[in-house]
Every structure is written in structure tokens, then in C-alpha cells.
Amino acid sequence: TAKLKAENVKLLVLDVDGVLTDGRIYYGNNDEELKSFSIKDGLGIKMLQRAGIDVAIITGRQSAIVTRRAAELGITDIIQGREDKRIALLELCDRCKIDLENCAYMGDDLPDLSAITSAGLGLTVADASKPVLEAADWHSQGCGGNGAVREASEFILDAQGLLDSAVAQYR
């Protein structure tokens, strides 16, 4: 089951558009690109990191905004501009010396499908494409960009018996 798979997660890898964001890209009049990120997702990522679970990003697009958000969250492993996310995931696991079975991947659309099915735990968002929803081990109740990563973070922490202590530090 998904909970059993989550017990072994040492690395959570996230797609950006449609997972950390709602999948929309806004363009301004001065050629600026804008994306919206959830603060709740950011806290979920920080909770994982404090519990000793690493977080990384693999995204098909190249964006300075993603670089900035990753830096704010202390995410140092970031791969941008990669269409074959499975190969990128394999490279990342090799570089981090983590087996695929100890890796969770969260994506939302067809380019994420091979990474979701290759990772030890495949995660997705409520508004993912149908083939991704069918292939994933677990999906959030919320849509991408609206706390779905926070849900995934809490799911992993709970499966590892770490959620209560992660929450306790805020009491």
C-alpha cells in the first residue's frame, strides 16, 4: 500500500507546474513571468527537511522563479529544463546515493508518468490527468498549488511516525 511505501521515503522529488503551482503561467507586459506558490506547501517541505527527508525538484521548464523559490525553501537539488523526468530522477537518485524505492515523486501530467511509476512511491494531485491519477500510489485531496504538497508531506511524515513530533514543535 501507499502507506507502507511511504515508510521508506528518504527523498521527495517534486514537479513544479501543476504541483507546486496551479499550473498557470502569467505573463506581464514587461515580459516577466509570474507563478503562485502555496505557503502551506512550503511549510510541508520544511517539515520534511527538519525530519531528515530531503526534497528536490525536477521540472520540464526553465525558470528563475523556480530557482528563487527553491533557494527560499533550502532545496539544493534542482533539475530544470528536462523533458524525460524518469532519466532525470535516476540521475538525481544516483547523485544523492538513494535507491529508487526510497524516493517519492509527485507530478501531475503525462511528462511525469514515467517518474511516478519508477519511484518507490508515486504521488499526484487531485486535478492530475487521468492516466497519472490511475498510475499513482496516492493522490492529494487538494489541487496543485493549493496545499497538495503539504498533504503529501504530512502523509509521508505520518507513515514514518514523525508527524506528531513535527507538529509538536509549533505548540
111-164 confidence digits (pLDDT tens): 999 999 999 999 999 999 999 999 999 999 999 999 999 999 999 999 999 999
pTM across the whole model: 0.97
Q: Given this model, what pLDDT does residue 159 score?
A: 98
Nearest to 107 by CA among 95, 120, 92, 117: 117
Instruction: Report whether pLDDT(13) > 90.
Output: yes
The rounded distance, in Å, linking the Cα atoms of 84 and 115 is 9
| pLDDT surpassing 90 at residue 31 | no
Average pLDDT, the chain: 96
**Average of per-residue pLDDT across 60-85:** 95
CA distance 131 to 99: 25
